[in-house]
Every structure is written in structure tokens, then in C-alpha cells.
Amino acid sequence: MTEKLKRTRGSGNVFEDVGFAPEEAENLMLRAQLMSRIRDVARGTPQREAAKQFGVSQPRLNDLLRGKISKFSLDALVNMLGHAGMRVELRVRKAA
């Protein structure tokens, strides 16, 4: 027996799609994007060295690499990227 699967178009924010309030979902999405960028920069570098590059301890970097999003604020992530010589830019636009 074959069943038809129902597809639903996502909102573009997975956190909102799984039930977070829009404001919290936006914050989580921004944090996830910054964490992903840090992960990309740290890739291929020993954790101890990468942690020093971002100005945090190795266990703190390990939490980030393991995706523990609740342990990181936007401020902390921006500071980590700044410590590594990167600049974070923010763009604000009207919601659809």
C-alpha cells in the first residue's frame, strides 16, 4: 500500500517550524548561523589552538562544536568571532 506524503513549505526558520515563538526562533537562528561560521573557521585546527584563536577555553569550544546552542548568547558568539579577527554584520528588514 502506498501513502501520499503531505509536504509543507517551511518558513525559512527551522526553529519556528518546530514550534518556537517567532522572536525566540529568530534569536536561535542567528545563534545557529554564528555557531556554524565558528565551526567552519575551526575546522581542521586542533581544538586547543582553535579555542585560543576564539579567546575561549577548549571545553567551551567543545560545547559549541557539539551544538549546545543554549550555552551561547549572541554576545558571546560575536565576541568569539571578533577575537578571531572577524567582523559580524547585521541587517534588519521588515518581516514578510
Is pLDDT of 80 > 90? Answer: yes
pLDDT in tens, 13-65: 899 999 999 999 999 999 999 999 999 999 999 999 999 999 999 999 999 99
Among 54, 55, 72, which residue's Cα sits nearest to residue 63? 72
Residues sharing a CB contact under 8 Å with residue 50, sequence separation 6 or more, in sequence order = 41, 42, 61
Spell out the domains of the chain, with CATH numbers in brackets: 14-83 (1.10.260.40)
pTM of this prediction?
0.85
* Helices and strands (H and E) in the chain: how many: 5, 0
Report residue 74: phi and psi, to 5°.
Answer: -60, -40
